[in-house]
């Protein structure tokens, strides 16, 4: 049995906080159920992020959802959201649930959590990622976002424009760092036999817990930093029976531009189109959940900047948190 | 304006007490001798639960760093631009901190540094690094 992403939903993305997390999540969930052509009463499982406002007991009794028999929370952080699909796929293939709803919302209120600028800058130095590399990533993301009506940072930048942006933590300037956004995304995961429309298949997934630099500096920096992510990635590709070079679209976390070349190196993705939606940097910073939506849409052909003939997509969370990634395959033709 | 102050727990109290006396305290495994930081119950090398606290030499070298311009926490904003990085202590563990005592742009990997402490409150001192 193959688990598929039967539907996706998302709200408008905004810079400014307005609606509550609950309202945003509900809008995305309604859109995902509609997109999947699933009856709310069929939903029997849910996976959320552990710090979200909408919990498993908030949903039964609303939206036509009756009762949940599988519920789980993945640890929130910008690395977590691909794990929503990992947990949902596990529930479906193990027969724990038939129709699993995944959601994540952010109300856009900036909290005490510092941006990942400093850790990303340290990693850039350790891995010889130069300011020129960072600039290339930022400019490319702006070019992609300029053609994505949903994106929040759509103004094209020249290298000179970028140099006028102040440093936050060298070599990262303000425009090289994502600005927190408000919005929500949701998915419906079910077995391939149950879907009414062509649905991207969840081929394999991974999680890798990365000790945080500030909490456990020693372990983060000993040996080859982040090597455990590379090892988990190799196992994921092997489980999916595909090669990194086969990836057509790579939606990797771009909370800081320096993280993008590093992610491509760790996942050994060579020729994929990277973040055709503009990524966390330019579409919206929503803990990566919209990167997963983009991977799904690319395989269905309804992305804003479609990559022609895309058959294999990678969505990978931030390298700075307990991270997760998922490999999605194009829908099987009926 | 005070920087964020530590909230010691049973595992980290000794480290922060040491800082107050301007001593850098880390754990050393009583079985295999491996040093570890941050403080924790077991040895990452041999899993032994037996350990002793030692006082570090306070010397190390810069492993990685960045120059921070902010926006950052209010307590640090007035100091920008300043360098902050990861130092590899001669005992083999890594610690995060500000790197002071030279032009931040003169910092290179391997630069030798020594620990120093700021007394930020009556009973709290915070470590940082000074170029040797």
In 3-state terms, chain A is what percent helix, strand and coil (to 5)?
35, 20, 45
The answer to whether residue A276 scores a pLDDT higher than 60 is yes
Distance CA B10, CA B4 (A): 19
Q: Residues 76..95 of B with a Cβ closer than 8 Å to A: which? A: 81, 84-86, 88, 93-95
3-state secondary structure of B19: helix
- Chain A residues with at least one Cβ partner in B under 8 Å: 114, 118, 121-123, 125-126, 166-170, 172, 213-222
Residue A230, pLDDT score: 93
Is residue A94 scored above 60 in pLDDT?
yes
Provide the 10 A C-beta neighbour count for residue A155: 10
A250 touches A82 (CB < 8 A): no
Residue of higher predicted confidence among A114 and A252 = A252
- As a whole number, mean pLDDT of residues A121-133 equals 93
Q: In chain B, which residue's Cα lies nearest the Cα of A128?
A: B64
Which tokens belong to B11? 């595992």
Report, as an integer, the average pLDDT of A245-271: 96
- For residue B2, the model assigns a pLDDT of 85
In this complex, do B84 and A118 lie within 8 Å of one another by their Cβ atoms?
A: yes
Whether the pLDDT of residue B98 is over 70: the answer is yes
Task: Give mean pLDDT, residues A262-281.
Answer: 96
Nearest 5 degrees, angle CA A67-CA A81-CA A327?
A: 105
Q: What is the pLDDT of residue A321?
A: 77
The arithmetic mean of pLDDT across residues A273-290, rounded, is: 97
Tens digits of per-residue pLDDT, A192-242? 999 888 899 999 999 998 665 555 566 666 655 688 899 999 999 999 999
Average confidence score pLDDT of chain A = 92
Which whole number is the average pLDDT over A94-121? 84
Residues B65, A122: C-beta atoms closer than 8 Å? yes
In the prediction, which pLDDT does A218 show?
Answer: 64
Question: Do residue B93 and residue A218 have CB atoms under 8 angstroms apart?
Answer: yes
Task: Give residue A113's pLDDT band: very low, low, confident or very high (50, 70, 90).
Answer: very low
Residue A68's Cβ-count burial label (10 Å; 0-12, 13-18, 19+) is middle
Could you tell me the pTM of the whole model?
Answer: 0.94
């Amino acid at each position: 049995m193959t688990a598929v992403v039967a539907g996706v939903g998302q709200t408008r993305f905004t810079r400014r906080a307005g609606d509550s997390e609950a309202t945003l999540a509900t809008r995305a969930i309604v859109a995902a159920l509609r997109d999947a052509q699933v009856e709310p009463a069929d939903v029997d499982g849910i996976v959320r992020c552990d710090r979200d406002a909408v919990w498993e007991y908030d949903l039964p009794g609303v939206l036509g959802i009756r009762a949940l028999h599988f519920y789980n929370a993945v640890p929130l952080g910008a690395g977590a959201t691909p794990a929503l699909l990992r947990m949902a796929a596990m529930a479906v293939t193990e027969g724990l649930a038939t129709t699993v709803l995944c959601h994540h919302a952010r109300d856009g209120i900036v909290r005490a959590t510092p941006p990942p600028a400093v850790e990303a800058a340290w990693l850039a130095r350790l891995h010889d990622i130069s300011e020129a590399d960072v600039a290339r990533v930022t400019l490319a993301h702006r070019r992609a976002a300029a053609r994505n009506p949903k994106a929040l940072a759509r103004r094209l930048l020249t290298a000179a424009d970028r140099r006028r942006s102040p440093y936050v933590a060298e070599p990262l300037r303000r425009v090289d760092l994502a600005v927190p956004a408000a919005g929500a995304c949701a998915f419906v995961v079910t077995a391939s036999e149950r879907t009414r429309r062509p649905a991207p298949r969840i081929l394999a997934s991974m999680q890798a817990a990365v000790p945080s630099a500030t909490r456990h500096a020693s372990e983060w920096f000993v040996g080859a930093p982040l090597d455990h992510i590379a090892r988990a990635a190799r196992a994921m590709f092997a489980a999916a029976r595909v090669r990194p070079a086969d990836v057509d679209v790579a939606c990797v976390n771009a909370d800081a531009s320096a993280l993008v070349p590093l992610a491509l190196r760790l996942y050994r993705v060579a020729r994929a189109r990277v973040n055709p939606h503009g990524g966390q940097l330019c579409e919206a910073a929503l803990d990566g959940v919209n990167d997963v939506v983009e991977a799904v849409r690319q395989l269905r052909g309804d992305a804003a900047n479609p990559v022609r003939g895309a058959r294999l997509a990678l969505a990978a969370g931030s390298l700075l948190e307990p991270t997760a990634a998922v490999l999605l395959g194009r829908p099987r033709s009926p | 304006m005070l920087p964020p102050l530590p909230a010691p727990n049973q595992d980290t109290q000794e480290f922060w007490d040491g800082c107050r006396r301007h001593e850098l305290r880390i754990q050393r495994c009583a079985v295999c001798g491996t040093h570890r930081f941050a403080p924790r119950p077991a040895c990452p090398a041999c899993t032994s639960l037996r350990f002793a606290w030692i006082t570090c030499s306070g010397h190390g070298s810069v492993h990685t760093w960045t120059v921070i311009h902010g926006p950052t926490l209010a307590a640090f904003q007035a100091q920008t631009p300043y360098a902050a990085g990861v130092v590899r202590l001669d005992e083999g563990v890594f610690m995060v901190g500000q790197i002071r005592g030279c032009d931040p742009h003169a910092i290179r990997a391997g630069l030798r540094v020594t620990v120093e402490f700021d007394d930020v409150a009556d009973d709290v001192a915070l470590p940082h690094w000074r170029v040797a």
